[in-house]
Amino acid sequence: MKLSNSMKKFFAYVCAIAMVVSSMAFYGQTSVEASGSAAVEGKIYTVTDGDATIVGFTCQGIFDKARIHFAWGTEVDAASITTTVDGKSVKIDGTNAHGMFIPLSEVSTLAVGEYQIVVSATATENSATVTGNATLKIEDEGETTTRDPSVKVWKDLGDGFSYDDSTTASVINIQQPDWSPEKGIYVNVPAGISSVAVNGKTGDEVAKIQGAGVIVFISAMTKKTNTVEIEYAGGKATVIVKNEN
């Protein structure tokens, strides 16, 4: 069946939104949730999502203790993206139609406190200006927040699965988006993924990759403790997943 140009645009828009929806448990224009946190050189940086007119706007996490990543569903002109922190323009990088990141060095000189992040861009569909808001909180790390690296903290994913949160990857939730043949754990990393291994096994039997995100199949988690290794452009991330089923 031949689709009209308007229908092609519609389906492309739906697919774009689906890609971002698959990277989070829930979002909405009034949703507020802690999305990223990292301790760097004595300071703790935490980003909390706020109101947005950019559909699906969210902080994906602070990767490699160096980049604050944001993503969204609305398709925008990448060249139009601007960002301010506390009302002042900051440098951004990795810009594309559905995301970008702020180098942590752009905010590392700020004092302890809370700062408003505002991301603005032009939607390609109707040339309207859309915005996303978030709050950056900076705290002194202090001795009481020092974590013993030998103590594992397991984050519950539901369905009898949990993961060790000492990972550089962003582990989202268990889901099955339309582009994945199986249900699995959605994991996001800073750049395009080249390969995924689960307990040493690779290929289509263990995961479905889409850009910088991947569904790691539940069916591949055959051990009580499973090692997921993700190689992406510029780095590698490891996630330890516990199966209590």
How many residues are recorded in the chain? 245
Domains and CATH numbers, the chain: 5-145 (2.60.40), 154-243 (no CATH)
Question: Which residues in 83-121 are b (16+ Cβ under 10 Å) and which e?
Answer: bebeeeebebebbeebbbbbebebbeeeeeeebebbbbb
**Residue-wise pLDDT tens digits, 87-135:** 999 999 989 888 899 999 999 999 999 999 999 999 999 999 999 999 9
The DSSP letter of residue 4 is P
Sorted by sequence, the CB contacts under 8 Å of residue 237 that are 6+ apart come out as: 167, 168, 169, 187, 189, 229, 230
Q: pTM of this prediction?
A: 0.53
Low-confidence stretches of the chain (pLDDT beneath 70): 1-36, 143-150
Q: Quick one: tokens of 93?
A: 């990088």
d(CA 113, CA 175): 36
Task: Please provide the DSSP assignment of 77-106 as one string.
Answer: -GGG-EEEETTEE---EEEETTEEEEEGGG
d(CA 159, CA 64): 29
Residue 86, pLDDT score: 95
Between vectors from CA 175 to CA 170 and to CA 181, what angle results, nearest 5°? 115
